[in-house]
Amino acid sequence: MNEQDIQYLREAIEVAWSARKRGNHPFGAILVDGEGREVLRAENSVVTGHDVTNHAETNLVRLASGRFSPKELADCTLYTSTEPCAMCSGAIHWSRIGRVVYALSEEGLYEITGPSPENLLLPCREVFGHSGQPVRVDGPCDELEADARAVHAGFWR
């Protein structure tokens, strides 16, 4: 990961804090184009939107699919505070976003939440491994793990 990756991950964590402050699950995502410019951001809205599919990444993919072509999305990077779940990974696959960068791993999140109906412990690399298109994955980010964990502290129990 480079400095740009670290900066966008920090911002994704800030978006996760925003989601938490609004009463939602603490997850945030940012989409960056091939030139390194932020083009979209989205936070989790499961609670306030009354929709279990309103994860930060699926909200972002929904917005991105309406604004950009699959060819444009292939050059984009999705930065997310926590590794995408299986549902979000599927949405990323179908959107054709070319790269995912995350701060906290699914396993790290599981250490915080413990066994829960909220969890489906399936790493995004495994989901993308069944994809017919390449999705580059970078994460977790050791440098930001403490910050990525902090947004979840006290939320799940």
Question: Which residues are tagged catalytic?
Answer: 57
Residues paired with residue 10 on neighbouring β-strands, in sequence order: none
d(CA 141, CA 63): 26
- Relative to beta strand 28-32, strand 77-82 is antiparallel
Q: How far is CA 115 from CA 60, 61, 121, 149, 154, in A?
A: 27, 28, 10, 17, 15
Q: How far is CA 3 from CA 8, 11, 150, in A?
A: 9, 12, 21
Contacts of 92 (CB under 8 A, 6+ apart): 57, 61, 78, 84, 100, 124, 128, 135
